[in-house]
A and B are shown apart, each in its own frame.
Chain A
């Protein structure tokens, strides 16, 4: 059965890069959202096995989206993929319950590490 993966990122280029970096040999059902608000709605709708979440987005940023997702499901597995690599941003998202932070641009290895850490692959 394919694992449901939700990618929340306002940049179509970033979403394309993330999809290219997904490990081969695993069956994923992909869902996408263009901002935190859409991501939250999509999360409620599809109940993904994991969410790959950007931080810097319009409408609702990734910090708020992460907080809201955790209110919906405190056990949600969220990997933050971000260009915002400030120590305080890292501390904030880890405090909000992110499983880990992957700096942009991601690589096949960094995505695989993240998915492995949360037991998805």
Chain B
């Protein structure tokens, strides 16, 4: 766990509980996507960090090639825990991702079919973010509603804060995970950003979750 700045209100135990909640939620999300694409998705155990939104850049850069750009899908959600969820992955991985949805009856998805590519990236984001955030909400006795997903294409990593409209005062929960889609090696990041009010609720909800057992 990161021990600097904002996570002072979150104990190591809180972080461990959230990691397990996210593990369950991401399992659910991957299952939803696997059902749609009929492929096995191999997961690494997610790691959770509490960061100021500004620090996201540092984290994402650690796993991104210098000259790479990111395709990012953003979806806002509202509940007792209110915020934004982002699924980001290198632009170079997009072709592999959208190929999961290729159909013999449709034209091939490449640069000449930007709308199809966009629709499929949005669908992948919608499935993963929706299932993950919904499962977190269910486990923590919350209910959430979602905005439609928005694609931020070919984003230069250094422009993350502006492109994603991140408020530097907000706290980001970064769930870093690597998912392998059968023989395709595709690395993605899923992170949630929320304000202090939601974080206070989250801390209590995590303790309530453990008290159920």
Listed in ascending order, the chain A residues whose CB lies under 8 Å from chain B are 10-14, 16-17, 20-21, 56-58, 82-89, 92, 104-105
Chain B residue at minimum C-beta to C-beta distance from A14? B20
Known A13-B20, A83-B23, A84-B27; 10 more pairs at CB < 8 Å: A10-B45, A11-B45, A14-B23, A17-B210, A84-B30, A85-B28, A87-B35, A89-B40, A104-B23, A104-B27
Partner of B27, one of A16, A83, A92: A83
Q: A13-B17, A87-B35 are in contact. Are A56 and B23 (CB under 8 A)?
A: yes
- The distance in angstroms between the C-alpha atoms of A105 and B28, with both chains bound, is 11
Q: A12-B16, A56-B44, A105-B139 are in contact. Are A86 and B23 (CB under 8 A)?
A: no
Interface secondary structure of B, over-half rule:
helix
- Distance in Å from the Cβ of B207 to the closest Cβ of chain A? 12
Chain B residue at minimum C-beta to C-beta distance from A18? B213
- The distance in angstroms between the C-alpha atoms of A20 and B212, with both chains bound, is 10
Q: A13-B16, A20-B213 are in contact. Are A86 and B45 (CB under 8 A)?
A: no
Cβ-defined contact, A58 with B17, below 8 A: no
Q: Which of B25-63 contact A (CB under 8 A)?
A: 25-28, 30-31, 34-35, 39-41, 43-45
| A to B CB contacts below 8 Å, 14 in the list | A13-B20, A13-B210, A20-B213, A21-B213, A58-B44, A83-B24, A83-B25, A83-B27, A85-B31, A86-B31, A88-B39, A104-B27, A105-B24, A105-B213
Mask of B55-80 contacts with A, CB within 8 angstroms, 1/0: 00000000000000000000000000
Cβ-defined contact, B24 with A56, below 8 A: no
Q: Is B167 an interface residue (CB 8 A)?
A: no
Cβ-defined contact, A86 with B40, below 8 A: yes
Q: Is B19 an interface residue (CB 8 A)?
A: yes
| In the complex, chain B residues whose CB is within 8 Å of the CB of A89 | 40
- The distance in angstroms between the C-alpha atoms of A16 and B24, with both chains bound, is 15
Mask of B129-147 contacts with A, CB within 8 angstroms, 1/0: 0000000000100000000
Partner of B28, one of A14, A56, A83: A83
- The distance in angstroms between the C-alpha atoms of A11 and B26, with both chains bound, is 15
| In the complex, chain A residues whose CB is within 8 Å of the CB of B25 | 83
